[in-house]
Every structure is written in C-alpha cells, then in structure tokens.
Amino acid sequence: MEFSALEIATFLSGEIIGDPTIKINNVSKIEDGKPGTLTFLANLKYENFLYETNASVVLINADFVPVREVKATMIKVKDAYAALSSLLDLYVKSVPEKRGIEQPNFIDQSAKTDNASYLGAFCYIGKNVSLGKNVKVYPHAWIDDNCIIGDNTILYSGVKLYAATQIGKNCIIHAGAVIGADGFGFAPLEDGSYKKVQQIGNVTIEDNVEIGANSTIDRATLGTTHVKKGVKIDNLVQVAHNVVVGENTVMAAQFGVAGSTSIGQNCVFGGQAGVAGHLKVGNNVTMAAKTGATNNIKDNTLLMGAWGIEASRFRRAEAVFRNLPELVAEVNNLKKEIRKIKNE
C-alpha cells in the first residue's frame, strides 16, 4: 500500500515540514533509510542519521529542532515512537487474517470453539475448553482440559497451556511458551533424595498481556500463579509457582523470579535480572540488567549490580571498584612507609 506524507500526517494529527505529496510504501531504520520508505527519530543518539538518511519521510518529536538541513520530509508528532506504533498497527490490520478450521486437528466434543476465528492444523483442544470470540490458535498448539481463553487472544505455534489455565482478552502468547507446567517443588528426605510436591494450582493471566517465545509460567502448588493486566514478558523468561505479577510490569529476556514472590505494578526488570523466592517487590521498582534481589524491595527503588544495591550507592561503589588496583597499590605503599617509620 502507498500513502502520501499528507495522508500520514492527517492520520497522526502531525505537522508536515517538507513535501506533503511525497509517497511511501514501506518503513526502514533511520540508519538504513531508502527512498520511498518512512522512518522515525525518537532516540537522540541517532540524530546524526537524520541528516544523512535516504528515507522519504521521518517522524520526529514536536519539540525536536534540527541543527542542520534535513532532505527528508519531516512529520512532527507528540511522540514519534508512539506514532510509529500506530502506523504499524494500521499496517498489520491491512494484512489478511487467518480464518477457519484447518485439518487435521483434535477438538474434544465438550470444547466450546464456535466463536474462534482460526484453529490451525495439528492443534489439540481438550475437554471443557472455552475459546472466546476471534481467538486464533496456530498449528501445533496444545490446550489441555478446562482452559479458558478470552476474546481476541492469539496463541502462536507450539504454545502449551496445561490444564485449568485461564487467559484473558487481547493477549498474545508467542511460539513455544509454556503456561501452567509444574512448579519446582521437591521436599528433601533424610536419605538425601527429593520427593516431588504435587502442583495442583493453576495460572491466571489477565487482559492485554503479551508473553514472549519460549517463556514459562509455572502453575501454583496451591491456589494461583497470577499475571495481572497489561504485563509484557519478553522471550526466555521464567515465572515460578505462586508468583503474583502486578499490572503493567515489564520483564526483559532471561529474567527470572522464584516461587511465591509478589511483584508490584509498573515495575521494570532488565535482561538476566533475578528475584529470589518469598519476597515482596513494591510498585515502580526498576532492576537493571543482571541485577539480583534477595531481600524485599520498597516502592520506587532502582537497583543495580549482582547484589541488588540501590543505584546511587552502586554507582559510588563502582567508581571505587574501577580504581581498586591503584587504591591497593597506594595502601601497600603506605604500609611500607609505616613499617619504615616504625623501624626508625
């Protein structure tokens, strides 16, 4: 599909600087911009590319003022990144959706699938499963007994939902994710072996949650592992049994949280960060990449480092650590001087 700069600006309620008639039919990164494409500038570290890009149209923030001439047509919007997201939504909606029921597959007679818009080949849908309106289940997905899936939710290929999992509306679960597997529960015995503790709870995921490829959310030992609305989970994330994740929290790849921990709302967890079990994490907590937490965390805290140190303290400690070889040499010299003074 082809759009003019004027049509895009009208859709985004933006201001055009340049040629309103110029046409685009694709998108590109600003550093790799090509004629006939649209790109955007939201992060100022890419500003230099703005003056060199060959893209035809660039979305920029309304408060941004170029310091050099820009050959592309610019469209000023309140938030360039959000505006790009709106355009990409428009593009996705223009792509024909998958519809109908493909064969072969297995759908138990007791399952309610009439409202689903797409069931891919080789999917398995167990007893008493309920699928909401416009649900899409891609090939090789497995939905065990008594699962409930809300309207407009998408399960991509290879998703596994264990029994009694509940998924809300407008969720997206990417390929290979496993929801409802047994939590890691084993009781140590006197002979050094371990006895499995049966996991008989479930997983509940509220509306507007997205779960990345190959992530896992374990069922509760008793009760529910609960992911609240608006949560965004990246690929390769582990959420253990009986964890509660608060609204609009985001988790980057390889983050892990151990069992029975409660996480507040609007938290941000960087890649490879980890939270130990049986803790309480407050609201608006941020943990930088590779940060570990072994104690409760208060609201509005920023943690950094493997020991989960408050950010300002961590930066001071890091400054000392960077100079540690010099400090050690200085201490050794002082020790030599002290010994010399004592000998004299």
Please name the helix (run of DSSP H) or strand (run of DSSP E) that holds residue 198, with its range, or none. Answer: none
**Residue at which a domain ends, from 34, 59, 94:** 94
Whether residue 202 is found in the same domain as residue 191: yes
End-of-domain residue from the set 36, 61, 94? 94
Please tell me whether residues 185 and 285 are part of one structural domain.
yes
Sign of CA pseudo-dihedral 308, 311, 313, 316: positive
Domain count, the chain: 3
Asked whether residue 292 falls in the same domain as residue 324, the answer is no
- Annotated active-site residue in 140, 174, 241, 278: 241
The 10s digit of each residue's pLDDT in 178-229 is 999 999 999 999 999 999 999 999 999 999 999 999 999 999 999 999 999 9
- Sign of torsion over alpha carbons 212, 215, 218, 219: positive
Specify whether 194 is located in the same domain as 45: no
Q: Does 174 participate in catalysis according to the annotation?
A: no
Q: What pLDDT was estimated at residue 336?
A: 87
Do residues 321 and 285 share a domain? no
Signed CA dihedral, 126, 130, 134, 135: sign only: negative
CATH number of the domain residue 237 falls in: 2.160.10.10
Same domain, 152 and 238: yes
CA angle 205, 211, 215 (to 5 degrees): 105
Parent domain of 326:
316-343
Domain C-terminal end among 46, 74, 94: 94
pLDDT at 311: 72
Same domain? For 176 and 297 the reply is: yes
Do both 14 and 155 map to the same domain?
A: no
| pTM across the whole model | 0.84
**149 vs 330, higher pLDDT:** 149
Same-domain check for residues 267 and 285: yes
